[in-house]
């Protein structure tokens, strides 16, 4: 089990990106959260196996191609962070 903090930069706010992210995470069955940041980026903390996290990122990519025509990711910054014990579900933070 690992946890990653992933920051998406580009046109990722006001275009349904958090919804797509949450949907991808729920389909794969990982835990964590996603939120908009004041600088226009979106941060996600995601917890699961390395394979599950890769699956979420791949699923998100396909969802953006299929439904997220206004989303434009310019860069992704990713780092490992400590695992959160007893976390359940994946939610949107405000």
Residue tagged active-site, from 18, 35, 67, 91: 18
Respond yes or no: is residue 18 known to be catalytic: yes
Residue tagged active-site, from 9, 23, 36, 91: 36
What is the C-alpha separation between 22 and 25, in angstroms, rounded? Answer: 5
Helix (H) / strand (E) element for 90: namely: strand 90-92
Respond yes or no: is residue 91 known to be catalytic: no
| Bridging pattern class, strands 72-81 and 2-11 | antiparallel
Side-chain-side CA neighbours of 60 within 13 Å: the count stands at 26
What are the catalytic residues? 18, 36
């Amino acid at each position: 089990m690992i946890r990653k903090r992933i920051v998406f930069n580009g046109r990722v706010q006001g275009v349904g990106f958090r919804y797509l992210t949450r949907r991808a995470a729920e389909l794969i069955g990982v835990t964590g959260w996603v939120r908009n940041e004041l600088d226009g980026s979106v941060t996600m903390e995601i917890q699961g196996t390395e394979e599950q996290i890769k699956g979420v990122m791949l699923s998100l990519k396909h969802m953006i191609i299929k439904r997220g025509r206004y989303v434009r990711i310019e860069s992704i910054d990713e780092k490992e962070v400590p695992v959160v014990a007893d976390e359940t579900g994946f939610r949107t933070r405000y």
